[in-house]
Amino acid sequence: MDFQWTDHTPVIFTYWHPFEPNNFRNTQEDCVSIWGAEGRWDDSPCNLTLPSICKKLGTKNDGKPQHQDCKQAFANSLVFGRSGDSFWIGLYDKASPGSFHWLSGDEVSFTNWNRDQPVTVHGGCVSMATGSETGLWEVRECASSKAKFICRQNQDTSLSPEPPAPQPTPSLSGSCPSGWKSDSNLRYCYKVFHSSQLEQKLSWLQAHLYCRKHGANLLSISGPDEEHFVLQVLHEAFGESEDHEQHWFWIGLNRRNPMDNGSWKWSDGLALTYQNFGRYYYNIRQCAAADLGTMTWLAMHCDSELDWICKIPRGSVEQEPEVSEGTSSPEWITFQEADYKFFDHRTTWDQAQRICSWFDSSLASVHSAEEEAFLANTLRKMPKVEGDNWWLGLHTYENDGRFRWSDHSVLNYVSLGPWEATPTQP
């Protein structure tokens, strides 16, 4: 199943329902429809009668305020769940108390004042509230009040250099690095890494970084031909007669980025136009693995430790990982040979662990009273932490009652409150 847009733009984003696309009951489902409250996609017969959505190039924005209530709703979504914080917006009355102006010079055609606002304050600036009053505006003294802030830029404005040009399509005549395998009809080379070679299995992120350090990526699959060849490589390594049940390998498919709203994506940027999920599909699991016996896919917890498969373009040179001393980012705090970064916005435990993974790190583990004291002293110096709780990496796996650190270090130190049970190690 190779889907294309009718306007010939490249397929760089997909938002399929679980188990889609699937050609249900072997019917020819070559067109795509939006179905359900989440707006996810379903492959459907092209002769099915449905409403449709048209799209054309828009006219140039004349800069006049439009749909301000929608903009306010979007701003609300950015600060939702951050109770106790306030955020500066660009409205102020410095020139004339009670007469408000936007810093951008735009006309004030929409307001969203809180109850009993605006108040008259000498040198007044406007902030946006959170909590039960999320999004409502309040006047505060510009010089003495402190708040976080939200920035806005026009869509045609760039704060970063132009993105690099797309990588050229690998040549079919290119060679593979030593130890990597390919087929004459494929433009990539493949290599299986398993614990009998390396004496360890890895989490999804560790496997992803391992491939990247070698100039490759975790396996992405563009269609049945590529999948069939990878299955041959696996069978060559392990034999078809072996009992393959429960032998899984990490592939690059994941939905770890919360900004993608739960949509599966390949880690190398390949568009998801083909899928082969098996029968069981877990909404709470964010990374995908392939079965050695059938190459069907299964959603798994990203911190599960598995073997993995890397993929590299033909003609590439396998890189040797660099060994360097490295330096710590100024935003990180060093203590006893480890670096720590503190995030003061509220998230779930899974979201916090995912954010740490973006920085090639994990939620903090604690292994001594000295390390615990360091964390406590650092938190005391941070603003607005009184009564707050901060996530650590200690957790149970599928609520089995056995605790472990998310970085897989040994649970050798415990410091719980008087009413908390002592965690059991795996």
Task: Domains for the chain: give ranges and CATH numbers.
Answer: 80-149 (3.10.100.10), 188-313 (3.10.100.10), 333-405 (3.10.100.10)
pLDDT band at 105 (very low <50, low <70, confident <90, very high): confident
Which of 10-14, 247-251, 326-330 is the least confident region? 326-330
pLDDT in the model for residue 58: 66
Q: Which residue has the higher pLDDT, 59 or 310?
A: 310
Return the HEC string of 56-76: CCCCCCCCCCCCHHHHHHHHH
pLDDT, tens only, 272-288: 888 888 765 556 678 99
pLDDT in the model for residue 158: 46
Q: Residue 20: which of 10, 34, 8 has the closest Cα?
A: 34
347 burial via Cβ count (<10 Å: 0-12, 13-18, 19+): middle
Give the pair of three-digit tokens for residue 300. Answer: 């798994």
pLDDT, tens only, 360-386: 788 999 988 888 888 888 887 776 644
Alpha helix stretches (DSSP H) within 295-405: 349-358, 369-380
pLDDT in the model for residue 283: 65
Chain Cα centroid distance, residue 360: 13
pLDDT in the model for residue 35: 82
Q: Residue 345: which of 201, 119, 130, 167 has the closest Cα?
A: 130
pLDDT in the model for residue 305: 85
Give the pair of three-digit tokens for residue 248. Answer: 């899984």
Give the pair of three-digit tokens for residue 79. Answer: 């600060």
pLDDT at 416 over 50: yes
Mean pLDDT, range 317-321, rounded to an integer: 76
pLDDT, tens only, 106-132: 888 888 999 988 888 776 899 999 888
DSSP code at position 9: -
Which of 122-131, 290-299, 414-423 is the least confident region? 414-423
Which of 53-67, 88-102, 115-129, 195-209 is the least confident region? 53-67
Q: Residue 392: which of 413, 382, 380, 400 has the closest Cα?
A: 413
Q: Which residue has the higher pLDDT, 221 or 301?
A: 221
Say if residues 409 and 368 touch (Cβ distance below 8 Å).
Answer: no
Say if residues 350 and 393 touch (Cβ distance below 8 Å).
Answer: no
Highest mean pLDDT among 76-85, 228-237, 383-392, 408-417: 228-237
Query: Other CB atoms closer than 10 Å to residue 227's CB: what's the count?
Result: 19
Give the pair of three-digit tokens for residue 355. Answer: 């954010």
What's the number of CA atoms in the CB half-sphere (13 Å) around residue 64?
1
Highest mean pLDDT among 7-16, 54-63, 328-337: 7-16
Give the mean pLDDT of the chain.
79
Strand partners, 189: 312
Give the pair of three-digit tokens for residue 360. Answer: 């090639």
pLDDT in the model for residue 180: 93
